[in-house]
Structure 1
Amino acid sequence: MNHNYIKPNPWSIIEEGFDAERVKSSESLMSLGNGAMGQRANFEETYTGKTFQGSYVAGVYYPDKTRVGWWKNGYPEYFAKVLNAPNWIGINVNINGEALDLAKCNKVEHFRRELNMKEGWLSRSFTATLQNFVEIKVEVKRFLSLEMDELGAIEYKITPINNAAQIDFMPYLDNGITNEDTNWDDKFWDVLSVDHEGEQAFITSRTMKTHFYVCTAMQTQVSMNGSKIASEKTVNATNDKIEFTYKNEVSKGDSITMTKFGGYTVDRNHDKNDLVSVAKNTLQKACDLGFEALLQQQKQAWAKIWDMSDISIEGDVAAQQGIRFNIFHLNQTYSGKDARLNIGPKGFTGEKYGGSTYWDTEAYCIPFYMATKDHEVARNLLTYRYNHLEKAIENAEKLGFSNGAALYPMVTMNGEESHNEWEITFEEIHRNGAIAFAIFNYFRYTGDFSYIPEKGLEVLIAIARFWQQRATCSSQKNQYMILGVTGPNEYENNVNNNFYTNYIAKWCINYTLEMITKVKEGFSEDFARIKGKTKITDNELDLWKKVADDMYFPFSEAHNIYLQQDGFLDKELITVADLPKSQRPINQKWSWDRILRSPYIKQADTLQGFYFFEDHFSTEELERHFDFYEPFTVHESSLSPCVHSIQAAKLNRMEQAYEFYLRTSRLDLDDYNKEVEEGLHITSMAGTWMSVVEGFGGMRVKNDVLSFEPKIPKGWDSYAFKINFRNQILKIDVAQNGTSFKLEGDSDLTIMVNGKLVEISPNELVTV
């Protein structure tokens, strides 16, 4: 099967020709979302071939009981997962009594599917000859409204080509769905009612255990040659499904269209008793506006998003398509309107990772949302963690920590840990550091210190307490060590003194001490409240400082580098270049035991520390560490290539930087890992954005000044992007012969370009 079948196009993801083997891959690639709900690009009509039906509602989840062979103290009770929601997109079609099913047609021709990223819609068209020899042309368009985020719209048009035909449309709602990834084949939904009124239908259901109430709704309308017709319908309702049937005789060459509006209302946003009435109003509003007017709204909403978040690349269509694909899905997944929501690694495109929140948000996603949205959006992501602080303290208590120490979960929906692999749940504690780093990064970029006295300092204190208690004082070395951990490189478990973990622990403590002093001096009321709540004492702070000052880091004098962990040099150091291609990817070819003993690095680990704390190390130190660790890195995590791309660009290795960029930007489009049918890698898409802006653009904040060191891959004519820096919009345009800056705003901005200060006035073009 050809995984690389998507047509090169700067603004669209286009598939031509019907191939049953790639249906599931395309369902992932062309998924739709609007921040509140999303769905895979499943066919509306019956399809009996291989498919992965998936619709998801943001924030609605189920605690699937943890499945392990041997229970350990501290294990989470459940693995949280986003639920496959009731299906509202379904429109079964019968032609002269035969079901339209692309898996069974005699012939399918001119098949074309397009995800238009510029305007935010999905279309599909084809001609099909059924087994009864009726030939039809089908044209479908669908979108999930950004303006009315409880609403989606479908226009499904059929034209008989060779004969007149009876065409039956059977739009339905179906609550009889299950997750692909259920542990125990549990039933996730209780159906409470199935109702209809006029052309509207409603299924009200409730999730088991978590008791989220959801109303799934639809409204239908039939048109002939563009004019609405009164088409008689019959209704068939069961305990968990309702279907309307519209039968119409259609002449050869005429077109009949089913317009269907649908979506979800949820008790997260409305009183559970009002869900049906809210859905009725939403559907009626959609009908009054009509499909075309809603589509125009959609185009305008996306134009506004793209105006701020687009990265345009001239001279490289593959790179252009890749970056827009990433930016599009990031904006579909998270809008920033709701601080109760976060960014799941698969977004609304699949069920792997349970739709939960990982450290990916703080480490990779926040820079994108800070720079391309209003700063409130990034602040909401920080607030999400503040709101879960009590749960993080409970999580730490379950593992034996005390005195308000917090361990944020590796995987969560509501703040509780819900991951059940011990080497990650108990050992991948570096996630605490990413959450503290995000607070620092937010202040560094936005200049908004207010978050720290209001909320952030409490989080920092709880994290610092954890690091102090987690460190062990070695009597042999008279230094503090952090034992039994897994770093970002998950191909090493239960190691001692992972450099990245030790380094971020030391940094977290020092940064917390610095923020305590700053809040104490400048925000005395907040400090009194925080001190009363956390009961910090000078003795405790002295103990923190001792741990930070005496933290141990494994170092090799022979190589003049920090070691990824204590025993790294004891491994058989065979580089990836000398690993036979037949052995890759090792996570699919090797036993776990063999992987753990190998020198191979799943993702940037020591180099992740050099990425976060770049200004703590010289360029020469970065180069030494990059040259040592990169040859052992297999990049079998989607989060890996972007960090290496940024660092290669800093080291002026632009060919290597470009290769890593292309790999991260087209990871899903070209299906590098041969797994795209399971869903997309949403959080690594933010890393792709960083590869351009921080890598090629060299954007940093240094000493409170926005700084750039622009570079350009040799195959590109130019690239351009915008950022929102402290409520000033700056456009950066990098060409082979220079870089220009244009400021939207009402006051001057001083930036640094290649180490020199440059003053920019509003609406003035400055070329360097």
Structure 2
Amino acid sequence: MNKNYIVPNEWNIIEEGFDAENVTSSESIFSLGNGAMGQRANFEEKYSGDTFQGSYIGGIYYPDKTRVGWWKNGYPEYFAKVLNAPNWIGIRVIIGQTELDLNHCKVTDFKRVLNMKEGFLQRSFKAELSSGDQIKVEVIRFLSLDINEVGAIKYTVTPLNFDGEITFIPYIDAGIVNEDSNYDEFFWEIENIREGKDEAFILSKTLKTGFYVSTGMKMAFSLNDIEIPLESEIQKEEKSIAYTYKSFVKKNDSFTIYKFGGYTQSMNYPKEELLFASQKALQKAVIIGFDNLLEKQKLAWEKIWDTADIVIEGDLLGQQAIRFNIFQLNQTYNGEDARLNIGPKGFTGEKYGGSTYWDTEAYCIPFYMSTKHKEVAKNLLVYRYNHLQKAIENAAKLGFSDGAALYPMVTMNGEECHNEWEITFEEIHRNGSMIYAIYNYVNYTGDYSYIPEYGMEVMIGVSRFWHQRANLSTEKNKYVILGVTGPNEYENNVNNNWYTNYIAKWCIDYTIENIDKLKKEFKSDFDRILAKTNLKEEEIKSWKEVADKMYFPYDEKREIYLQQDGFLDKHLLTVDKLPKSERPINQKWSWDRILRSPYIKQADVLQGIYFFENHFDLDTIEKHFNYYEPFTVHESSLSPCVHSILAAKINRIEKAYEMYLRTSRLDLDDYNHEVHEGLHITSMAGTWLSVVQGFGGMRNFDNQLCFDPQIPEKWTSYSFKINYRGGTLKIQKGHKSCEFFNESDQPIDIYVSGQKITIPASGSANV
């Protein structure tokens, strides 16, 4: 595959020229979504080459039986898979007697454009078939933000050197299987197939989980943009339905099929109403019409970009990349449904099961807090609150008791469903991110009410877990946490991972601090929570002992915290000494060799310093960055953003820019040789952080909104907006000035490089 085939452009992702080697990668990169559903950018017409068909529906999953070589007590029974849903986009195209298939014809003038500004996908090409017939094809497709159960396709064929018959065969295929199925199972049961005039529906039910989905399609046609009626032949099979439409088309005339399709599902309707709801949604789309629905799409995206956009002048690659990341984040999650969350691949692939990880709390919360209404971020927190009982059950399965909660590493419904020992049982640091997200939300939005209403119960459950998970080392007279994996997954089953120990102590301290606050200021809530959780004063004292006596591995000579006990016993060879032929090590080395190496997959100690930057002075931050960054291979998508932010903090702007490009163009340039599997959605929030917290220097510690803006040498200027406590602030940074614009009707107090500034309502300040 040509890694750098995406054409640089401010607002578009562009592919020029057809190369079969790029098809599966482009299917990921050009993916579409609207928060409720999403799909890879598969061709509508038949394609017999290498392809990864993928359509996904938010919240619909299947508990695929765990597949491991050696079963261990405590393993989850299943690994939750986001389901590859029935395919509604398909349109077979037959020219005379020859079917269009880009794998078996001469393709010229191929161009694919993902219009990020307006939210739609375009594709055009010319094809010469084996019959000698030449055609031009133009396609526009989008998933509606206005009617989120509907997508729309406009597919136009123009004969270039003949008059003849053209056949469109739109279909629904409900026989799609997951690429990542553990046992090659078909996860759906077909309940009903219904046909009507230019419309069809398939009602499917997921096995085991019992979700019902109605997949629908509705068609209309035009010749030279004038609507025409066509008769159809219907082919109904066990798992599919197809309609055949034929028309005689003259040379240079344009024959168009409009196909509306999509899903209604039982999380939103009673199952007996699904077919009707599907029919109603498609009918509404048809009445609005393709062009008007597209205009509504453009307006919806204009509203999103008004706050979310980051403008970079002077760096086309950097500008394209940040908008791509922001676009995909908004396609994946819009905050309208608290039952949904953000999977690492979003709607773009099946790797990781499409489930929810700690990425949401660690990386995504700040993006949604700053670019949308606070309720959007709050819904992500409520999602975890609603799963608290499952987290308590997860902990109980591993031997914890008395309401201790262990949030899952991977989940769809709150139940742990990851099946790698070193992740499921050892990567317990994820528990800390649940509390950090609460702190982050309250500190940024000022909405303290979340803690008495929801957050405190979660904090108590997590603190109980840390208390039970730590044990007193009589030799050290300190509490230790043994047998863990930190964020750096290239070190498993280690003792006293610094990040894990630090966030455990912080969680307990933060919980106790807020218990004291509730006692004084929210007495009725405090009493309710006490009764519900059966919390006693003696228990709180025992937590405090663990927090106060937590052990942190430290090297006096280097004056740095160690990744974990024994880190200095490794062969400490830095990454620059590794031959390029051995990179990435996760694809070239044995796991045994990786675990014995000093190489860091993603920020670990630096992750903790990023979270708790206000706990450390600048010299300490710099010392740790300079020590650990040379050992970091950045083979996790979550790594470069943290390094970019901290590099900017210590004024290593060139390094910050290098890491920014790496995180922002991770998928566009396929750094890790895996984009064909899907995009890295959650790390895209880290890309936004790299600009706003990195170069913009935005921090929000101690109820103070602070900035310390810097700018990469290559950039002429950059600007971004944030929503903050009901106000909107725009920051414009150039090489010689930085201007702050208050777009709200209340003054906003900020600190710029330590100096307090009040920006008047609808006013500005030049710093």
Same fold (TM over 0.5): yes
The DSSP-based 3-state class of the residue aligned with 1:244 is: strand
Deviation at 1:638, TM superposition (A): 0.3
Q: How does 1:73-152 map to 2 (within 5 A)?
A: 73-105=73-105, 107-152=106-151
Q: Corresponding residue for 1:363?
A: 362
Which residue is equivalent to 2:676? 677
- The one-letter amino acid paired with 2:15 is E
Per-residue CA deviations over 1:363-390 (Å, capped at 9, x if unaligned) read: 0000000000000000000000000000
Measured in 2, the distance between the counterparts of 1:339 and 1:589 equals 41
Residue 701 of structure 1: how far off its partner (Å)? 1.1
Stretches of 4+ aligned residues off by more than 6 angstroms: none
Task: Give the distance between the partners of 2:715 and 2:476, measured in 1 at CA.
Answer: 52
Q: Name 2:12's counterpart in structure 1.
A: 12
Aligned to 2:25: 25
Alignment correspondent of 1:35: 35
Which amino acid in structure 2 is aligned with residue 337 of structure 1? E
Give the Å deviation of 1:763.
Answer: 1.7
Structural mapping, 1:400-415, within 5 Å: 400-415=399-414
State the Cα distance separating 1:232 from its structure 2 match: 1.0
Unaligned runs of 5+ in 1: none
State how far apart, in whole Å, the 2-side matches of 1:702 and 1:181 are: 42
Q: Is the 8 A contact 1:195 1:202 kept in 2?
A: yes
What is the DSSP-based 3-state SS (H/G/I as helix, E as strand, rest coil) of the residue aligned with 2:684?
helix
Partner of 1:446: 445
Paired residue for 2:217? 218
Corresponding residue number in structure 2 for 1:45:
45
Q: Does 1:195 align with 2:199?
A: no
Identity of aligned residues (%): 66
User: Matched residues in 2 for 1:550 and 1:315: separation?
Assistant: 51
Q: 1:676, CA displacement in angstroms?
A: 0.5
Which amino acid in 2 is paired with 1:189? W
Q: Secondary structure at the match of 2:508?
A: helix
CA distance in structure 1 between the aligned counterparts of 2:537 and 2:25, rounded to whole angstroms: 57
Instruction: Determine the C-alpha separation between the residues in 1 that align with 2:235 and 2:353.
Output: 34
- Where do residues 687-698 of structure 1 align in structure 2 (5 Å cutoff)? 687-698=686-697
Aligned residue in 2 for 1:63: 63
Alignment of 1:411-450 (within 5 A): 411-450=410-449
Deviation at 1:60, TM superposition (A): 0.2
Aligned partners of 1:218 and 1:599: how far apart in 2? 54
CA distance in 2 between partners of 1:284 and 1:637 (Å):
44
1:462-541 aligned at under 5 Å gives the runs 462-541=461-540
1:611 maps to what in 2? 610
- Aligned to 2:27, the other structure's residue is in SS state helix
Q: CA deviation at 1:765?
A: 2.1
SS in 2 for 1:716: coil
Aligned counterparts of 1:393 and 1:662: Cα–Cα separation in 2: 40
SS of the residue 1:236 aligns to: strand
Q: Secondary structure at the match of 2:7?
A: coil
**Shift in Å at residue 703 of structure 1?**
2.6
Separation in structure 2 between the aligned mates of residue 2 and residue 145 of structure 1, nearest angstrom: 32
1:365 match: secondary structure: helix
Provide the rounded CA distance (Å) in 2 between the counterparts of 1:179 and 1:457: 39
Letter in 2 for 1:735: G
Matching residue of 1:663: 662
On the 8 A contact 1:129/1:136 being kept in 2, the answer is yes
> Partners of 2:564 and 2:542 in 1: how far apart?
25
Whole-angstrom CA distance in 2 between matches of 1:101 and 1:582: 37
State how far apart, in whole Å, the 2-side matches of 1:671 and 1:364 are.
Answer: 21
For residue 540 of structure 1, give the secondary structure of its aligned residue in structure 2: helix
Where do residues 61-460 of structure 1 align in structure 2 (5 Å cutoff)?
61-105=61-105, 107-460=106-459
Whole-angstrom distance in 1 between the partners of 2:488 and 2:169: 50
Asked if 2 retains the 8 angstrom alpha-carbon contact of 1:751 and 1:759, the reply is yes
In the alignment, is the contact (CA less than 8 A) between 1:576 and 1:634 conserved in 2? Answer: yes
Deviation for aligned residue 1:182: 0.4
Shift of 1:764: 1.3
Q: CA deviation at 1:2?
A: 1.4
2:698 aligns to what? 699
Q: Which residue of 2 is the match for residue 588 of structure 1? A: 587
How far residue 657 of structure 1 moved from its aligned partner, in angstroms, is 0.2
Q: Distance in 2 between matches of 1:206 and 1:531?
A: 42
Partner of 2:572: 573
Amino acid at match of 1:533: K
Q: How big is the shift at 1:762?
A: 1.6
How much has 1:165 moved relative to structure 2? 1.6
Which deviations, in whole Å up to 9, do the C-alpha atoms of 1:728-748 show, x marking residues without a partner? 000110111111011121211
Give, in whole Å, the separation in 2 of the partners of 1:2 and 1:192. 44
Superposition RMSD in Å: 0.5
Residue 750 of structure 2 corresponds to which residue in structure 1? 751
User: Is the contact between residue 206 and residue 213 of structure 1 (CA under 8 Å) also seen in structure 2?
Assistant: yes
CA contact (8 A) 1:30 1:40 kept: yes
Q: Give the AA of the match of 2:691.
A: V
CA distance in 1, matches of 2:709, 2:156: 49
Q: Is 1:559 aligned with 2:558?
A: yes
C-alpha separation in 2, matches of 1:93 and 1:354: 33
Q: Distance in 2 between matches of 1:762 and 1:744?
A: 7
1:742·1:762 contact (CA, 8 Å) conserved in 2? no
Give the letter for the 1:514 counterpart.
E
Q: Deviations along 1:521-577, whole A, 9 cap, x unmatched?
A: 111111111000111111101100000000000011111111000000000000001
- Give SS of 1:103's match: helix
The separation in 1 between residues aligned to 2:502 and 2:760, in whole angstroms, is 40
Alpha-carbon offset, residue 230 of structure 1: 1.1
TM-score (norm 2): 1.00
Residues in 2 aligned to 1:702 and 1:761: alpha-carbon distance in whole angstroms: 22
| Equivalent residue letter for 1:463 | V
Whole-angstrom distance in 1 between the partners of 2:160 and 2:322: 40
Whole-angstrom CA distance in 2 between matches of 1:750 and 1:627: 34
> Using the alignment, how far apart are the partners of 2:701 and 2:192 within structure 1?
58
SS at match of 1:701: coil
One-letter code aligned to 1:44: E
Measured after TM superposition, the shift of residue 702 of structure 1 is: 3.1
Instruction: Work out the CA distance in 1 between the residues paired with 2:228 and 2:424.
Output: 58
Amino acid at match of 1:764: G
- Residue aligned with 1:395, SS: helix
Match of 2:427, SS state, is coil
1:29–1:676 Cα contact (<8 Å) kept = yes
- 1:441-483 CA-to-partner distances (Å, cap 9, x unmatched) read 0001000000000010000000000000000100111110000
Other structure's SS at 1:358 match: coil
CA distance, structure 1, for counterparts of residue 274 and residue 226 of structure 2: 31
Q: How far apart are the structure 2 equivalents of 1:7 and 1:183?
A: 37
Distance, in Å, in 1 between the alignment partners of 2:50 and 2:133 is 24
1:703, 1:204 → 2: CA distance? 53
The question of whether the paired residues in 2 share the 8 Å contact of 1:497 and 1:565 is answered with yes
User: Equivalents in 2 of 1:386, 1:265: separation in Å?
Assistant: 27
2:294 is paired with a residue of what secondary structure? helix
Give, as a single letter, the amino acid of the residue that structure 1 aligns with 2:644.
Answer: S
- Contact 1:203-1:216 within 8 A present in 2 as well: yes
SS in structure 2 at match of 1:367: helix
- Cα displacement (A) at 1:321: 0.2
Compute the displacement of 1:69 (Å): 1.2
Deviation of the 1:283 alpha carbon: 1.0
The number of equivalent residue pairs is: 767
Q: Which amino acid aligns with 1:736?
A: H
